[in-house]
Structures are given as C-alpha cells and as structure tokens.
C-alpha cells in the first residue's frame, strides 16, 4: 500500500467500515510509515476533540425559552390552518 492509497482509505478506516484484507494492509503500512501514522492518529484526535468539545451547548434557560416560543408558534399555526407557514 502506498501513502496515497492509505489516504484514500483513511475515512473508511476511521469509520470502521474497511474490509479485513484492506484493513490489515493499511495497518501494516502504518506500522512502518511514520507520516501516515501521524496523519491517522491526529485525524482521529481531531474528530474526538470536536466530538467531546461540547461546543455550542444550548443553555437550559435559553432552551426552555426557545421551546415555549416554538410551542406557541405551533399552536398559532394550528388555529390559523395549514397555509400559514
């Protein structure tokens, strides 16, 4: 496997959807190619950091304000009939 092949398979590898022979080949490549190992490892960390970041959490007070605004609008819509949105 060449470095360009590794890159082509990286997303499937990280998503755990590679077939077994390709996975073995890729992991063999990673065992000796330091650059690809670093790319793989830091890409995985990138995903984990974003996933665990709690970026843009909805604060509870805003959350309940939004929910009650939504439900009020829904009820107004119901009264006015289906053409109002």
Partner 1 sequence: MGTIQNKLEEPVSDELTLVRAAKQGDDSAFEELVRRYDRNVFRIAQHITQNREDAEDVVQEAFLKAYSNLAKFQEQSKFYTWLVRIAVNEALMKLRRKKPERTVSLDEDIKTEDDSLPREIADWSPNPEQQYTQAELREILSKTIQGLPPGFRTVFVLRDVEGLSTEETAAALELSVPAVKSRLLRARLQLRERLGRYFQKRESGDGEQ
Burial of residue 5, with CB atoms counted within 10 A of its CB: 0-12 exposed, 13-18 middle, 19 or more buried: middle
Smallest gap from Cβ 81 to partner 1, in A, equals 10
The count of residues interacting with partner 1 (CB under 8 A) is: 50
Phi and psi (nearest 5°) for 55? -75, 135
* Residue whose CB is less far from partner 1, 7 or 24: 7
C-alpha–C-alpha distance, residues 60 and 72, integer Å: 18
Give yes or no for a contact between 77 and 85, defined as CB atoms under 8 angstroms apart. yes
Indicate whether 42 belongs to the interface with partner 1 (CB under 8 A): yes
Indicate whether 24 belongs to the interface with partner 1 (CB under 8 A): no
Indicate whether 31 belongs to the interface with partner 1 (CB under 8 A): no
Q: Look at residues 75, 10, 60 and name the one whose alpha carbon lies nearest to residue 40.
A: 10
Task: List interacting residues with partner 1 (CB under 8 A).
Answer: 3-4, 7-8, 10-16, 27, 30, 35-36, 38-51, 53-58, 62-63, 66-67, 69-71, 73-75, 77-78, 82, 84-85
């Amino acid at each position: 496997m060449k470095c360009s092949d590794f890159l082509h398979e990286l997303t499937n590898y990280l998503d755990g959807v590679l077939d077994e022979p390709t996975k073995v080949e890729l992991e063999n490549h990673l065992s000796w190619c330091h650059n690809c190992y670093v790319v793989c490892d830091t890409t995985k960390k990138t995903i984990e950091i974003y996933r665990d970041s709690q970026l843009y959490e909805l604060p509870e007070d805003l959350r309940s304000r939004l929910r009650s605004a939504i439900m009020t609008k829904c009820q107004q819509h119901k009264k006015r009939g289906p053409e109002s949105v």
